Chain A
Amino acid sequence: MTHPIVSRALSESRGKLREDEALTLLRAYGIPVPDFALVKNEEEAVKVAEAIGFPVVAKVVSPQIVHKTDVGGVVVGINDAQGVREACRRLREVVKRVPYAELEGVLIQKMVPKGVELIVGAVYDEIFGHVVAFGLGGIYTELYKDISMRVVPVDVEDVWEMVREVKAYRLLTGFRGMPPRDIPAVVDIVYKFSRLIEDNPEISEADLNPVIALEEGKGAYVVDARFILRISY
């Protein structure tokens, strides 16, 4: 059944979910996302950051800005209230530099510790229907094209297979002194995400990028998410 967040976006003829909507949708499916809130001004930002606990990340939320990092729309490693204020000002400047861009707000998000970066995605293909994809981030997807796919719906065993199938899987099991990662938590995310896609067929494309896999027993978190909808569905 289509989630109200998706229905609402469609009724407003929006082809894309806002970042806070995307994270809320993930959370509704039990997919771990770091604590976050969308704020409208500096004071609110400080209050939220203090409630969430430092360090935090601040991200620009603007319908016109697709690749936030490319325009400097993400400030990481903010450790205090002063830092939050500075970040808010900087993000306002960023939006001014992008033609036609409007600032919808700033997303304050708990910063996730470093881990192995993963990509989880979904796409609608006319012949295959919805397909989920899994891969390691960075050069592994871009250079080595090391990605596995399955047709939705999948069962948990399918997901285990697809996670084990990528060549860079060894980075998750612990390699050359790097600690093993929380693989069951990763599998859980991919599985729940595929359920989300199954329930919301209006999604034509989705990326969870990055998903951070922490050490064994410490979980995995979706840090950034993008959902594209088929308005004409």
Chain B
Amino acid sequence: MLSKLLDPESVAVAGASPKQGSVGYVILENLVNRFGKKVFPINPKYDEVELWGRVIKFYKSISEVPDPVDVVVIATPAPTVPKVLEEAGIKGVKAAVIVSSGFSEAGNTELENWVKAVAKQYGVRVLGPNCIGVYNAYSGFDTVFLPAERAGRPPPGPLALISQSGAVAAAIMDWAARRRLGLGFLVNYGNKADITETELLEGFAADDRVKVITIYIEGFKYPGEARQFLETAKKIAAKKPVVAYKAGRGGAAQRAVKSHTAAMAGSYEMYHGLFQQAGVIEASSVREMFDMAKALAMQPTPRGRRTLVLTDSGGMGIQAVDALEALGLEVPEIPESVAKELKRELLPFAAVTNPVDVTGSTTDEHYKIVLDALLPTPLFDMALVVTLMQVPGLTKNLADYLIDAKKYGKPIVVVNFGGSELVQRFEEVLEDNGIPVYPTPDRAAKALWALYKYGEIRKRL
């Protein structure tokens, strides 16, 4: 069922509108122009309207639509939603995305219960209400009512986001589009009248296009929900990385001090504990969540925690060591004999300890020499490579050497900082070839930590 919701063949839009600026207009525009499959606008006020250079036929109700409909997007005023949902149910629609607001979030729990009852009676699964719904970069199925010029749509890619907040989801979508981050799927579930994050997690677990699942969560809502999430996430995390960010930690720690039922209800420590048990990798911010997710989608997991730091900047190397060690990763020394060999091939003033500092006088080849000498050995499990491209000896060939080093089967992340076109192009080539790039050493270190952590989770689950 969830595959129908995330990947429908046909969609009806109840509340579709030819009036620019309305929610029903934006949803229709996005679907008509980018969803390659069937779209049926529903609005009794219109018959045929010319929009975007073509004649669009409107239907009076869902029952008038001649073809089968997989999903109905409902963007009609809240009081009309139960009726629209009922018509969809009679028509045999399998899932509804209720974009409309004015339900439990506005104190109208009665109306939401009515929606739940209708959904149950007709076996229609409901996402929302009060949500932005689904964005599928592969098919262009997009119920997000924000205009594309305000909220960019990211390209297809291996990440999926499940978000409790619609606004946060939309902002992430826009941000990801700008960074060419492959956020292939995004779902916001709003009031969670029916479909929960647990079920969405299962949906993405079953989809081979999704390599890493990210979750933005503020809090569970229903009794017993946490346990259900735990059991499901545990199964999924054994196969696919799940990264979560729990927002709203403040004050919870205080409440956690005393073992007192009411005070402790849903405290942050409980979420943290649950994520640990489930093998969910926890992020401390949205940015960190995607930093880690990106690495998890592109790179293998390391066997251990021993990290090679290779840099052309002493300062960046030191920062990297600080960040790695603070996360419990190791930066072991290079044995004397190995260092001696290596020194012969590098510049006389290069530092062959760990970090290996090839210095600002480096060339692309020096990086290659170090990677080829050290990565295949059992001395290291992964590498953090700083490539400050501002030095004159580096060219875009360096990207080829780094990509080539993937053959050693060990995680490689790159720190690249700057703004020139060369720097940007270099980053794009690396990321397009599966090497994640970060602007600062601490972010790259955290990405390596996530890979290490996922390796540990895999061993355990």
| Beta-carbon nearest neighbor of B252 in chain A | A145
Among B256, B265, B460, which residue has its beta carbon within 8 angstroms of that of A145? Answer: B256
Knowing A121-B259, A127-B265, A145-B257 touch, does A150 contact B276 (C-beta < 8 A)?
yes
Cβ–Cβ contact B261 & A205, under 8 A = yes
Q: For the complex, give the distance between the alpha carbons of A15 and B185 in Å.
A: 50
User: Cβ of B223 < 8 Å from any Cβ of A?
Assistant: yes
Among B253, B260, B266, which residue has its beta carbon within 8 angstroms of that of A128? Answer: B266
Dominant SS among interface residues on chain A: strand
Knowing A123-B259, A123-B264, A128-B274 touch, does A147 contact B220 (C-beta < 8 A)?
no
Knowing A148-B273, A150-B273, A157-B460 touch, does A125 contact B264 (C-beta < 8 A)?
yes
Q: For the complex, give the distance between the alpha carbons of A121 and B258 in Å.
A: 9
Cβ–Cβ contact B253 & A145, under 8 A = yes
User: Cβ of A154 < 8 Å from any Cβ of B?
Assistant: yes
User: Cβ of A124 < 8 Å from any Cβ of B?
Assistant: yes
Among A151, A161, A207, which residue has its beta carbon within 8 angstroms of that of B259? Answer: A207
User: Cβ of A133 < 8 Å from any Cβ of B?
Assistant: yes
A166 to B: closest C-beta gap in Å: 10
B235 to A: closest C-beta gap in Å: 15
Stretch at the interface among B75-83, B225-233, B372-380, B424-432: B225-233
Chain A residues closer than 8 Å to B277, beta-carbon distance: 150-151, 154, 158
Cβ–Cβ contact B227 & A151, under 8 A = yes
Contact with B along A102-129 (1 / 0, CB 8 A): 0000000000000000000111111111
User: Cβ of A142 < 8 Å from any Cβ of B?
Assistant: yes
User: Cβ of B270 < 8 Å from any Cβ of A?
Assistant: yes
A120 to B: closest C-beta gap in Å: 9
Q: For the complex, give the distance between the alpha carbons of A162 and B277 in Å.
A: 10
A154 to B: closest C-beta gap in Å: 7
Cβ–Cβ contact A127 & B226, under 8 A = yes
User: Cβ of B67 < 8 Å from any Cβ of A?
Assistant: no
A69 to B: closest C-beta gap in Å: 16
Q: For the complex, give the distance between the alpha carbons of A11 and B253 in Å.
A: 36
Cβ–Cβ contact A149 & B272, under 8 A = yes
Number of B residues whose C-beta is below 8 Å from A? Answer: 28
User: Cβ of A206 < 8 Å from any Cβ of B?
Assistant: yes
A182 to B: closest C-beta gap in Å: 24
Dominant SS among interface residues on chain B: helix
Contact with A along B248-291 (1 / 0, CB 8 A): 00000110110111001111011011101100000000000000
| Beta-carbon nearest neighbor of B224 in chain A | A129
Cβ–Cβ contact B276 & A158, under 8 A = yes
B230 to A: closest C-beta gap in Å: 6
A35 to B: closest C-beta gap in Å: 26
Cβ–Cβ contact B273 & A151, under 8 A = yes
User: Cβ of B349 < 8 Å from any Cβ of A?
Assistant: no
User: Cβ of A24 < 8 Å from any Cβ of B?
Assistant: no
Q: For the complex, give the distance between the alpha carbons of A128 and B261 in Å.
A: 11
Knowing A151-B277, A157-B460, A161-B276 touch, does A125 contact B270 (C-beta < 8 A)?
yes
Chain B residues closer than 8 Å to A142, beta-carbon distance: 257
B192 to A: closest C-beta gap in Å: 13
Cβ–Cβ contact B274 & A151, under 8 A = yes
Chain A residues closer than 8 Å to B266, beta-carbon distance: 125, 127-128
Q: For the complex, give the distance between the alpha carbons of A151 and B226 in Å.
A: 9
Chain A residues closer than 8 Å to B270, beta-carbon distance: 125, 128, 131, 149, 151
User: Cβ of B222 < 8 Å from any Cβ of A?
Assistant: yes
Cβ–Cβ contact A127 & B256, under 8 A = no
| Beta-carbon nearest neighbor of B265 in chain A | A125
Chain A residues closer than 8 Å to B227, beta-carbon distance: 128-129, 151
User: Cβ of A141 < 8 Å from any Cβ of B?
Assistant: yes
B226 to A: closest C-beta gap in Å: 4
Task: Contacts A151-B230, A151-B270, A151-B277 known; list 8 others, CB within 8 Å.
Answer: A127-B221, A127-B266, A142-B257, A148-B272, A149-B270, A149-B273, A150-B276, A207-B259
Question: Closest 5 CB pairs between A and B?
Answer: A121-B259, A149-B273, A128-B226, A145-B253, A150-B273
Query: Which residues in B have some Cβ–Cβ distance to A below 8 Å?
Result: 220-227, 230, 253-254, 256-257, 259-261, 264-267, 269-270, 272-274, 276-277, 460
Q: List 11 A-B contacts (CB under 8 A).
A: A127-B220, A128-B227, A128-B266, A129-B226, A129-B227, A131-B273, A145-B256, A149-B256, A151-B270, A151-B273, A154-B277
